[in-house]
C-alpha cells in the first residue's frame, strides 16, 4: 500500500471503509436476500480493495490476484444489472413480452456498440492490456444497456421502488466512469495515476451514495409523479383504472 | 479523444435526463374516467375548416375587401389552429398514457397492443411535424393544411384503447 500515490492511499482507505459499512448495512436491513448478486459484487469489491493492502504492488501475485478478481467482478456486473431489471419487470405480465423483446434488442445493440469501440483500441499485448480491453468492452455494453433499459422504464409507467432508482443511478455513474477510463487507456493514453485516482474516487462516491440512499423502506416506496407512493395512492390508482375500464366498456356497449 | 469526450458528456446528459424523468413519473392521476367520458374527437371538427381557402375566397368577393383583411383573418385562424393542435397533442398523449397504463397493469401479455401504441405514437408525431411545417409555409401561399389525418389518428387511438378493454380481462390485481 505504501507504493500507491498518496491520494490513492487515502481513496483506498475511504473505499474500504465505505464498502465494509455498506456490506454490513445491506446485511442488517436484509437487502442481501433481495439483491443477491449486488451483495456478492460488493463483497468481491471489498476483497479486491484489500489486495493492495496485503500484497506488494510490484509482485506477480498482485497482478494475478487483481486479474482473477477483476474477471469475477466483471461477471457480477452483468448479473447485477440483469438481477435488477428482472425484479423490476417480474410481476408485470402485461409488459412481459414487450420487455423481453426490447431487452434482447438492447443486448444486441449494446454488444455491437462495445465491439465497435473495441475496434478503436490499441491494446497492449499483455495480460493487463487484454484485461483492460475486455473490461472496456463489458463496461461499454453495460452503459448502453442501462441507458436503453432506463429509457424503457421512463416510457412505460412501471412502478419503481425508490431503491431501484438509487441502484440505477449508482450503476450508471459507475459503468460510465469505468467505460471512459478503460476506453481512454485502450486509445493509448496511459495516464495511469490520474485515471486510477478517478476510478477510485468515483467508486468511493458510488459506495457512499448507496450507503446513504438505500434503505429497507426504499423497497416499498413506489416513485410516482415525484412524490412518495403510499397505500392510499395505490387504492386510488386501482379505483381509477377500474373506472377507466368500466367507462370504456360502457362506451362499447352503446 | 475529443470525440470520445463529447460522446461521454452526451451519455452523461442522457442519463441525467432519464433519471430526472424516472424521478418525476407519468401522472396516472390525470387519467380519470371522467376525462375519458368527456373526450370526443368531434370537439376538434372545427380544425377541418379553419384554414379552408373557400372562406377567404368568399371574403375576397365581398365589396370593400382589402388583402390586409384576408391576411389578418388567416393569421388569427392560424393562431386558433395552433391552439387546437396543442390541445390535440395533449389529448393524444393522454390517450397514449392510458394505453400504456393498461399495458403495464394488464393480466395478459399485451405485446401487440404495446407495439401498435408505439407505432401510432411515432406516426402521430411525424404528422404533427409535417403539419407544423405546412403551417409555417401557409403565409407564403401553402394552402393544403389538412388536419383530417391527425383527427383520424386520434380517433384510431381512442378505438384501440377501447378494443384493448374489450379484448381481454380487466386490469391486473395489484400485488
Query: Quick count: other Cβ atoms within 10 Å of Cβ A211?
Result: 17
- Most A CBs within 10 Å: which of B16, B24, B28, as the mutation test of the A interface? B28
Q: Is residue B5 part of a domain?
A: no
Read out DSSP for B98-156?
A: HHHHHHHHBSS--HHHHHHHHHHHHHHHHHHHHHHHHHHHGGGT------HHHHHHHHH
Q: By the 8 A CB rule, do B17 and B84 touch? A: no
- The per-residue pLDDT for A64 is 86
Q: Is B174 helix (H, G, I), strand (E, B) or coil?
A: coil
Interface check for B25 against chain A (CB to CB < 8 A): the answer is yes
| Cα–Cα distance for residue pair A176/A140, rounded to 1 Å | 7
| Cα–Cα distance for residue pair A113/A146, rounded to 1 Å | 13
- The per-residue pLDDT for B100 is 86
Interface of A with B in 121-180 (CB under 8 A): 143, 147, 150-151, 153-160, 165, 168-169, 172-173, 176, 180
Q: By the 8 A CB rule, do B149 and A233 touch? A: no
- The per-residue pLDDT for B21 is 65
Q: How far is B47 from chain A (nearest CA, A)?
A: 25
Residues of chain A with Cβ-Cβ distance to B21 below 8 Å are: 154
Q: Is residue B19 part of a domain?
A: no
Residues of chain B with Cβ-Cβ distance to A224 below 8 Å are: 25-28
Question: In chain B, what is the straight-line distance between the N-terminal and C-terminal CA atoms, in Å?
Answer: 49
Indicate the DSSP class of residue B1: -
Q: Is residue B114 part of a domain?
A: yes
CB contact under 8 A, A156 and B175: no
Annotate chain A with three-state secondary structure: CCCCCHHHHHHHHHHHHHHHHHHHHHHHCCHHHHCHHHHHHHHHHHHHHHHHHHCCCCCHHHHHHHHHHHHHHHHHHHHHHHHHHHHHHCCCHHHHHHHHHHHHHHHHHHHHHHHHHHHHCCCCCCHHHHHHHHHHHHHHHHHHHHHHHHHHHHHCCCCEEHHHHHHHHHHHHHHHHHHHHHHHHHCCCCCHHHHHHHHHHHHHHHHHHHHHHCCCHHHCCEEECCEECCHHHHHHHHHHHHHHHHHHHHHHHC
Interface check for B122 against chain A (CB to CB < 8 A): the answer is no
| Cα–Cα distance for residue pair B15/A169, rounded to 1 Å | 8
Q: Which three cell numbers stand for residue B35?
A: 376525462
Interface check for B29 against chain A (CB to CB < 8 A): the answer is yes
- The per-residue pLDDT for B105 is 81
Q: Is residue B11 part of a domain?
A: no
List chain B residues with pLDDT less than 50: 168-175
Q: Is residue B20 part of a domain?
A: no
Residues of chain B with Cβ-Cβ distance to A249 below 8 Å are: 165-166
CB contact under 8 A, B100 and A156: yes
| Cα–Cα distance for residue pair B34/A244, rounded to 1 Å | 8
Alpha helix stretches (DSSP H) within B24-110: 33-38, 47-50, 53-60, 67-105
pLDDT tens-digit profile, chain A (254 residues): 457 888 888 999 999 999 999 999 999 999 999 899 999 999 999 999 998 888 888 888 888 888 888 889 988 988 998 888 888 777 788 888 888 888 888 888 888 888 887 777 666 677 777 787 888 888 888 888 888 888 888 888 888 888 888 888 888 888 888 888 888 877 777 777 888 898 899 999 999 999 999 988 888 766 553 334 455 655 665 566 666 666 655 655 55
- Most B CBs within 10 Å: which of A180, A244, A247, A250, as the mutation test of the B interface? A244
Q: Is residue B37 part of a domain?
A: yes
Indicate the DSSP class of residue B43: G
Q: How far is B116 from chain A (nearest CA, A)?
A: 11
| pTM (predicted TM-score) | 0.76
Residues of chain B with Cβ-Cβ distance to A140 below 8 Å are: none
Give how far Cα B88 sits from Cα of A242, B95, B118, B131, B132, Å: 25, 11, 18, 13, 13
| Cα–Cα distance for residue pair A170/A157, rounded to 1 Å | 21
Q: Which of A155, A226, A241 sits opposite B105 (nearest CB)?
A: A241
Q: Which of B22, B110, B174 sits opposite A154 (nearest CB)?
A: B22
Bridge partners of A252, per DSSP, are none
| Cα–Cα distance for residue pair B15/A147, rounded to 1 Å | 7
Give how far Cα A233 sits from Cα of A92, A230, A242, B29, B47, Å: 19, 5, 14, 9, 38
CB contact under 8 A, B37 and A247: yes
Interface check for A244 against chain B (CB to CB < 8 A): the answer is yes
Residues of chain A with Cβ-Cβ distance to B6 below 8 Å are: none
CA A97, distance to chain mean position in Å, is 24
- Most B CBs within 10 Å: which of A88, A92, A93, A94, as the mutation test of the B interface? A94
Q: By the 8 A CB rule, do B32 and B98 touch? A: no
Q: Which of A176, A238, A241 sits opposite B12 (nearest CB)?
A: A176
The number of folded domains in chain B is 1
Q: How far is B70 from chain A (nearest CA, A)?
A: 43
Interface check for A95 against chain B (CB to CB < 8 A): the answer is yes
Say which residue the cell 471503509 belongs to.
A17
- Report the candidate in A202, A210, A200, A146 with the shortest Cα–Cα distance to residue A172: A146
Q: Is residue B6 part of a domain?
A: no
| Cα–Cα distance for residue pair B126/B129, rounded to 1 Å | 5
CB contact under 8 A, B24 and A225: yes
Range of the domain at B52: 29-167
- The per-residue pLDDT for B32 is 64
| Cα–Cα distance for residue pair A86/A105, rounded to 1 Å | 16
Q: Is residue B106 part of a domain?
A: yes
Amino acid at each position: 500500500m505504501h507504493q500507491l500515490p498518496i491520494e490513492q492511499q487515502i481513496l483506498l482507505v475511504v473505499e474500504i471503509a465505505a464498502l465494509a459499512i455498506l456490506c454490513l448495512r445491506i446485511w442488517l436491513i436484509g437487502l442481501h436476500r433481495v439483491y443477491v448478486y449486488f451483495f456478492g459484487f460488493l463483497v468481491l469489491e471489498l476483497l479486491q480493495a484489500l489486495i493492495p493492502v496485503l500484497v506488494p504492488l510490484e509482485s506477480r501475485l498482485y497482478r494475478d490476484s487483481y486479474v482473477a478478481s477483476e474477471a469475477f467482478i466483471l461477471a457480477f456486473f452483468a448479473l447485477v444489472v440483469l438481477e435488477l431489471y428482472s425484479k423490476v419487470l417480474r410481476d408485470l405480465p402485461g409488459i412481459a413480452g414487450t420487455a423481453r423483446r426490447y431487452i434482447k434488442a438492447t443486448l444486441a445493440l449494446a454488444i455491437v456498440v462495445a465491439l465497435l469501440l473495441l475496434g478503436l483500441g490499441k491494446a497492449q499485448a499483455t495480460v493487463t492490456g487484454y484485461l483492460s480491453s475486455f473490461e472496456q468492452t463489458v463496461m461499454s455494453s453495460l452503459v448502453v444497456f442501462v441507458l436503453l433499459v432506463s429509457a424503457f422504464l421512463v416510457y412505460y409507467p412501471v412502478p419503481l421502488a425508490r431503491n431501484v432508482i438509487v441502484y440505477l443511478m449508482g450503476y450508471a455513474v459507475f459503468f460510465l466512469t469505468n467505460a471512459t477510463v478503460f476506453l481512454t487507456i485502450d486509445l493509448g493514453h496511459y495516464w495511469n495515476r490520474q485515471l486510477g485516482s478517478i476510478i477510485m474516487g468515483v467508486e468511493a462516491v458510488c459506495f457512499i451514495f448507496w450507503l446513504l440512499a438505500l434503505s429497507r423502506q426504499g423497497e416499498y416506496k413506489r416513485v410516482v409523479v415525484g412524490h412518495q407512493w403510499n397505500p392510499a395512492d395505490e387504492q386510488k390508482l386501482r379505483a381509477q383504472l377500474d373506472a377507466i375500464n368500466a367507462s370504456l366498456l360502457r362506451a362499447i356497449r352503446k | 479523444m475529443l470525440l470520445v469526450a463529447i460522446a461521454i458528456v452526451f451519455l452523461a446528459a442522457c442519463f441525467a435526463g432519464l433519471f430526472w424523468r424516472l424521478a418525476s413519473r407519468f401522472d396516472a392521476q390525470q387519467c380519470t374516467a371522467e376525462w375519458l367520458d368527456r373526450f370526443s374527437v368531434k370537439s376538434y371538427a372545427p380544425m377541418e375548416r379553419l384554414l379552408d381557402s373557400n372562406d377567404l375566397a368568399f371574403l375576397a368577393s365581398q365589396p370593400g375587401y382589402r388583402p390586409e383583411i384576408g391576411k389578418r383573418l388567416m393569421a388569427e385562424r392560424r393562431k386558433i389552429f395552433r391552439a387546437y393542435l396543442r390541445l390535440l397533442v395533449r389529448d393524444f398523449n393522454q390517450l397514449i398514457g392510458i394505453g400504456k397504463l393498461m399495458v403495464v397493469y394488464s393480466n395478459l401479455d399485451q405485446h401487440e397492443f404495446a407495439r401498435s401504441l408505439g407505432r401510432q405514437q411515432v406516426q402521430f408525431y411525424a404528422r404533427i411535424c409535417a403539419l407544423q411545417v405546412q403551417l409555417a409555409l401557409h403565409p407564403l401561399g401553402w394552402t393544403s393544411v389538412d388536419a383530417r389525418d391527425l383527427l383520424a389518428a386520434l380517433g384510431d387511438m381512442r378505438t384501440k384503447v377501447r378494443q384493448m378493454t374489450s379484448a381481454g380481462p380487466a386490469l391486473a390485481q395489484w400485488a
